[in-house]
Structure 1
């Protein structure tokens, strides 16, 4: 029997989710979520990481084993808990560089920044995986993650060929009157390009999302499919259906609005894979991903 699209998507998700747990040559910890998800996707379980309750809600995957110690806030970690975890190496990013002097009192620090000016997040995510693999003694785990992610995107690209004619506008709602948009230099923008799709927003957004923009600006993208990333503020859920501006948008009138599952907006390769998978599912089955 020839597998259906749903079966193929489910298989790709399972491939990305299941990783053999590997014993790293060093006990590692991290403050950065992109590095945490990369470690877990490589089968390397850190002894400690930060804001794990929120990570499980926002990033969702990979699953964080219960034995990983929670260090509290990423920007203000619990150094006593970190010391008790006894890491041999701490992975950090430029976001939390202010903590490095204290981190180095516990263990050596290796800084890997996926999001930095002048770089491409997807390429930097691959580079981060390679450096993690080298530092932990599992270079083959990095190559496997890179290959599986690339293969997954290539498979989704083939599946979505029929959707390449309509551009996408990937946004996050700040409230019922404002949104932020992810440009071509963001991780989501790079994934869209790798899927063979067009990003309706062509201006750079400094590898992240734009500053808040008035909702009326969405009228400039009449042909685009709106792709909304959580979280959606409660007032937006409540007030947008009553908004004349929102209701007048062609994408809204024509049911071209998709709400994806939660994901880390500053993630690594696992986030790229999750975004591609959820976007593909939503485009193939839009009735199950509508906003409203």
Structure 2
């Protein structure tokens, strides 16, 4: 195992030598990682990076970042060999071990409290202040606000409330609510979220699919990698889901996923762009 870790570190630094300057910041928080990346800071290592990149098509976090493993069971030996100057993220259970490797600070966007869009801005500015990129963050937020304004003008203005779901399995879904990342994007687009029930720290509620017909609004199904790989085919063959779709009279759209639902401003922006394009085509 130690030989494998040393080999990974060796290959990593070969890669770094061709990647240009990078910042020795490791993170256990995806919102931190992608926000650093759009502020032109390439994070050294990120937890569950392969899963994140599968969702986002490898287009937000720098390709040079290193996979650090699961958030609950990171590769601490690899992390120590990478010698980060700072570890950021919300992983209090590992603080004692992480602080032996580098200074560690807990920072996270989640759980979102209050207005989601304001929470995203505050998080971005706080992170930027910590790394000395205040002006870059202000410019980024201004650019995103301008992009949201342009997207809002592309909508008809009379859209139905949206029910945004992600399949957990072929019988249950997560519905995104008012304290989710996606809610912040909906607010900026002037769209209404049909779901107003209590949610968990990520802003989602778990419900059975047979509860969906009773919720008024347009159903938006997130075509996550999990949906594409396994759930979609089972649903297409399953009589229950097809019957539920008929009850909704075809008022359902399928949204390609190229963002991370536990990300920050970059993912909110990509979700908004994809949503508007999909609504325009339906």
Shared topology, TM-score over 0.5? yes
Matched, 1:112 2:107: yes
* Post-superposition offset of 1:110: 2.0
Contact kept in structure 1, 2:111 and 2:203, CA below 8 Å: no
**What is the TM-score of this pair, normalised by structure 2?**
0.82
Contact kept in structure 2, 1:166 and 1:225, CA below 8 Å: no
Matched, 1:91 2:88: yes
C-alpha offsets along residues 9-66 of structure 1, whole Å, 9 cap, x if unaligned?
A: xxxxxxxxxxxx9967x63111111111111111101222222222210233544434
* Equivalent position of 2:148 in the other structure: 153
- Runs of 4+ in structure 1 deviating by more than 6 angstroms, as ranges, are 21-24
1:279 alignment partner, one of 264, 275, 281: 275
Matched, 1:141 2:141: no
Contact kept in structure 2, 1:114 and 1:121, CA below 8 Å: no
SS at match of 1:112: coil
Could you list the runs of 5+ residues in structure 1 that have no partner in the other structure?
A: 1-20, 287-292
1:218 alignment partner, one of 188, 212, 219: 212
1:187 alignment partner, one of 175, 181, 191: 181
How many residues in Structure 1 have an aligned counterpart in Structure 2?
262
Alpha-carbon distance in structure 2 between the residues aligned to 1:199 and 1:218: 14
Alignment RMSD: 2.6
C-alpha offsets along residues 205-237 of structure 1, whole Å, 9 cap, x if unaligned?
A: 235354431212111135424333413162443
1:265 alignment partner, one of 261, 264, 273: 261
* Equivalent position of 1:171 in the other structure: 165
Matched, 1:243 2:239: yes
Alpha-carbon distance in structure 2 between the residues aligned to 1:47 and 1:218: 42
**What is the TM-score of this pair, normalised by structure 1?**
0.80
Deviates more, 1:47-56 or 1:36-45: 47-56
* Post-superposition offset of 1:98: 0.9
Alpha-carbon distance in structure 1 between the residues aligned to 2:146 and 2:20: 22
Contact kept in structure 2, 1:181 and 1:210, CA below 8 Å: yes
* C-alpha spacing 1:174/1:194, structure 2 compared with 1 (3 Å): same
SS at match of 2:99: helix
* Equivalent position of 1:35 in the other structure: 32
Alpha-carbon distance in structure 1 between the residues aligned to 2:161 and 2:170: 23
SS at match of 2:100: helix
* C-alpha spacing 1:272/1:157, structure 2 compared with 1 (3 Å): same
* Equivalent position of 1:81 in the other structure: 78
SS at match of 2:88: strand
* Post-superposition offset of 1:128: 2.4
Contact kept in structure 1, 2:112 and 2:179, CA below 8 Å: no
Alpha-carbon distance in structure 2 between the residues aligned to 1:176 and 1:77: 30
* Post-superposition offset of 1:86: 2.0
1:44 alignment partner, one of 41, 46, 49: 41
C-alpha offsets along residues 138-179 of structure 1, whole Å, 9 cap, x if unaligned?
A: 21221122122222222111111x153311110011222221
SS at match of 1:249: helix
